[in-house]
Chains A and B, each alone.
Chain A
Amino acid sequence: MKAFLEKDRLIPFLNTLSRQIEVIAPLATEAGAVYSTWQGQPLDLRSNPLSPPTEFLLPHKETLFRYIQESGRYTFKEDSIPPRLLFAIRPCDLHAIALLDRIFGSEPSDQAYFRRRRATSLVVLNCTNRGDECFCACLGAGPEAQDPCDLEITDIGDGYLCQAETPAGVLILQAAFNLLQPAQLEHDQEKARRLQLVEDAMPRDRSYHQIRQAIERADWVALGQECLGCGGCSFVCPVCHCFNILDRGVPDGERLRCRDSCILSGFSRLTGGANPRRTAGQRLRHWYQDKFEDLPKITGLPGCVGCGRCHLVCPAPIDRSDLKVESREAKI
């Protein structure tokens, strides 16, 4: 099902949705764009927030259950998962979610992840304005949505072309039916034209194979020396998904699942104290290797969707927009 939404009807459209479900959207704040609950705040649909929307499926920290002790017996309580609609996430992040679905869906599938995943509707905004560091096209992730979502929308100038892909997507459109107009053939043509422009402007030199070669050639000792170990690259990567489990509170308390990062040395340290990835360079290399060698083998997809966030967030002068390790090699 397709429809056209005029730009000045976007807010009423979101109002209609937010009466039914918690709407998460990219909000404009004084400190930059963030995905957060929309309650009428100004939107920022031009920039892709630095912190990816995957946190709504795989939170930085979530309570798996609470444990309560009463006269020597434990009872366990799970919190309910709020239904949510992620509005205007980008195709790269959608591709990351498709990958997370594969990772967490391999048997035995991860219940905590899928409880959230099933309660979440996805509305994707195709990219008609790419960020400076984006290279999704190199990795088959964008600028047009490549993966299943509920609703796909595209900015075509004076409004959005909306395409429902699932029954949930149809329901979303039906809920706001009075705000929509029928889609026309020229809307489709305009969408194709705009996406082609973005696609043409995308860098082409960061393909899966090129990055793999760069990983082989890079000077990891030098890169590791500059890495400040902040973990930021793994925390903003929409594909990164490792976690740690801990219990907090005695005798009552909660079992928490928190995000973790292979950039941290404690992640790979063995009980005896030895560490197979002792240096920052080894850990950084491992991070790339997981994305470009191991995950492709396991899931069939590269573990990078070309969102460019790891470059934006890195406090070190490591130029990783295209893993420019070749030029660095020459320099060092």
Chain B
Amino acid sequence: MEKVHTTCVYCGCGCGLFLHVEGGSIVGASPSPAHPMSRGRLCIKGWLAGDFVGHPERLSYPLLRQGDRMVRATWDEALSLAAAKLESIRKEFGPHSLGVLTSAKGTNEENYLLMKLARAALKTNNVDHVARLCHAPTVAALGSALGSGAMTGSFSSLQNSDAILIVGSNTTEQHPLAASYILHAKSRGAKLIVADPRRTRLAELADLWLSPRPGTDVVWINALLNVIVEQDLVDRQFIEKRTTGFEETAEAARAYTPGQAEQISGIAAPDLARAAELFGAADRAAIVYAMGVTQHAQGTDIVQALANLALATGNMGREGTGIYPLRGHQNVQGACDMGALPTVYCGYQSISSPAVRAKFEDAWKAPLPEEPGLTALEMLWAAEAGSLKAMIIVGENPALSFPDSYRVLKALKSLEFLLACDIFPTETTALADILLPAACFAEKEGTFTSTERRVQRVRKAVEPPGEAKAEWEWISELMRRLGHQADYPSPASIMAEIASLTPSYGGIGYERLAAGGLQWPCPSIDHPGTSILHTDRFPQGRARLRPVLYDEPPEMPDADYPFILNTGRSLYHFHTGTMTRRTSLLDREVPTPFVEINSEDARLMGIREGNRVRVETRRGSINAEARLMDALPRGNLFLPIHFSEAPANALTAQAIDPLSKIAELKVSAARLHKVIS
């Protein structure tokens, strides 16, 4: 038996684990005791990470569409056809008619190559990935406030916090190892403040639980800042030395009085005062947040409001302080870092800077497009409108994971050409003209970057099934067929190119990535990596506070649709469930789609635990099993996104954050019926 050390494929915590290999297949998994972050611990998904790998339903041969059927083809046929199709569409309709969706599940090397393929070979900046639907507001808001959109500290730093404010993150379920650090901090005496409409596990354990009405975060965060300023719990020295914009921001926050906050957000004024005291008086306070903050039409503003709070109190750049956005996919950080975004190259270097573009044109030996590309949803709407003709979608299932699925399906169907690549058949691959079988994380070499900026190795433990291939291999091949040079003997050589073009990855090379990886920025080969950002300066010099004003969520409950529908995840499943629902123990934990309903609401409607109910919004309806929850406030519903038979995104709203283009996924007006069967 061999044990291959690698990185977990599920969430952004980035735990280290061993895959146990025997006779060419994976027979188990176990945690790595010496990993600097996970230290011998894993969540249940990590323990079972190798389980789906050898599943008989894996895609194992390239397939081409012939009418309604998919027929087996060789790689050569599939890639020749793909190149020919993409070329002819580009000739006829121009490069703007092409788009690429990369995968937050893919490696850094693959994301880099796909974004290079889009820009250098297809000549379009239409490249994006699922971060648009999770942390685009983080990248936008923290990028402008702090100069970097990433987590400012490391998980281990939370051990030294005196107070931790957790907003919109069901951490024990979504990021269990982050929760581990938070719980340990608490047992050492740190105060926990949890803001979440649901009474989550952490809310139960917290010193203070705030339950804002969904979508009203800007109000209570501003009011919290207001109280902190009034009580002079701000850090004057930090504000003066290291920030700009404090006065205007404080001034704008003054309009948000505790009384008003109570009225709009439902958080009682004394609770807010207590929060101000716990957070403001702490020497070292940290803010942890996740999709409950970002997946809103005002996502960018909410993140900015949190940044204002951290900056005004001087909680930045020291152990135990900082802002901790928890990223969902194991490599969504890396996909962003690699420039799988329509406006930046790798390392967030702007495509609109002539100097940057010249550097990449020089390195890639190709002229590059100037015009910013479309975001993920914009690409789909362009497809719907007929201006985008062809897409490459790698390791992503927008038909289920993107909001308003009916419209997404329609958009995908109206494409003239869809090249999809995945490990399992999905709702999206069902629409492909060419379907390529991918190697999964256990079958290839590469790197993932965790949410704490830790670049870590992914190692090949077993061979891919059938003719499935690592994406970097076919992407290089497709690039060559599109007339662009791409001679990469291995992922290590791709990383060498990434390092040469990406200042924050400048010192990263495979030979340096031992069990614990390296945290970027790591600009040179003798640099040890960076555990805490902004210790003495921000990338742009000073951090920027910016006033933010509350906008009502675009869709509020009304007489027709009296419930607020919230969507999210379960501990036992991941994304659209393609891997976890094929892991028997995880599937057994949560085998069927469910919707959480407040117990009292359910009682009044005559709904019992386990009853089938229909959830409807203005966009669609689904059936699911009722789960009665005291932890959910009245008038709220919660629906997980993992189930294709009850696609939550058939219901979600279209409203888009103007700043980051994320969709409103947390607040939709809904109604509920008991299904009589």
Contact = CB atoms under 8 A, between A and B. Distances in A.
Contacts of B676: none
Q: What is the size category of the interface that chain B forms with chain A?
A: 35 or more
A248 B25 CA distance: 14
B41 A266 contact: no
B29 A314 contact: no
Interface string A214-247: 0000000000011011111001100000001010
B44 A60 contact: no
Interface string B37-65: 00011111011000100011000000000
Q: Which of B35, B41, B186 has the most CB of A within 10 A?
A: B41
A157 interface: no
A322 to B, nearest CB: 16
B584 A246 contact: yes
Interface centre among A24, A33, A249, A258 (most CB of B within 10 A): A258
Contact of A51 (B5, B30, B176, B584): B30
Contacts of A55: 20, 28
B570 to A, nearest CB: 11
Given A29-B5, A51-B30, A315-B180, A232 B515 contact: no
Interface string A294-331: 00000000000000000011111100000000000000
Interface string B560-590: 0000000000010000000000001100110
B27 A62 contact: yes
A181 to B, nearest CB: 32
Interface in A257-302: 258-261, 264-266, 273
Interface string B399-433: 00000000000000000000000000000000000
Nearest to A263: B44
A253 B56 contact: yes
A273 B625 CA distance: 12
B187 A315 contact: no
Given A51-B18, A60-B29, A266-B589, A31 B5 contact: yes
B440 to A, nearest CB: 16
Interface in B6-26: 16, 18, 20, 22-23, 26
A202 to B, nearest CB: 22
Give the residue among A24, A33, A34, A261 with the most B Cβ atoms within 10 A.
A34
A45 B23 CA distance: 26
Given A246-B584, A253-B56, A317-B184, A37 B589 contact: no
B584 A244 contact: yes
Contacts of B205: 225-226
Contacts of A228: 43, 172, 176, 179-180, 183
B618 interface: no
Q: Is chain A's interface secondary structure helix, strand, loop, or mixed overall?
A: mixed
Interface string A13-36: 000000000001001011111111
A203 interface: no
Given A228-B176, A228-B180, A31 B30 contact: no
B44 A248 contact: no
Given A29-B3, A244-B585, A316 B183 contact: yes
Nearest to A331: B187
Interface in B174-228: 176-177, 179-180, 183-184, 186-187, 201, 204-205
A56 B172 CA distance: 32
A32 B609 contact: no
A59 interface: yes
Contacts of B84: none
A32 B32 CA distance: 6
A7 interface: no
B355 interface: no
A167 B640 CA distance: 59
A31 B584 CA distance: 28
A317 B515 contact: no
A235 B589 contact: no
A32 B588 contact: no
A31 B34 contact: yes
Given A225-B204, A315-B180, A231 B27 contact: no
Contacts of B585: 244, 258, 260-261, 264, 266
A232 B5 contact: no
Contacts of B35: 31-32
B1 A50 contact: no
Contacts of B33: 31-33, 47, 49-50, 312
B5 A230 contact: no
A59 B28 contact: yes
Contacts of A35: 1
Contacts of A61: 26-28, 51
A50 B31 contact: yes
Contact of A313 (B29, B31, B51, B179): B31
Contacts of A236: 30
Contacts of B20: 55, 60
A316 B180 contact: yes
B183 A34 contact: no
A261 B16 CA distance: 22
Interface string A37-56: 10000000001011100011
B539 interface: no
Nearest to B177: A315
A128 B185 CA distance: 34
Contacts of A316: 180, 183
B176 A230 contact: yes
Q: Top 7 nearest A-B pairs by Cβ distance?
A: A60-B28, A32-B33, A31-B32, A51-B30, A315-B180, A266-B588, A31-B515
Interface of A: 24, 27, 29-37, 47, 49-51, 55-56, 59-62, 79, 225-226, 228-232, 235-236, 244, 246, 248-249, 253, 258-261, 264-266, 273, 312-317
26 contacts: A31-B16, A31-B33, A31-B34, A31-B515, A32-B32, A34-B3, A34-B30, A36-B3, A61-B51, A225-B201, A228-B172, A228-B176, A230-B42, A230-B43, A230-B176, A232-B31, A232-B42, A235-B47, A264-B585, A266-B589, A273-B610, A313-B31, A314-B41, A316-B183, A317-B183, A317-B187
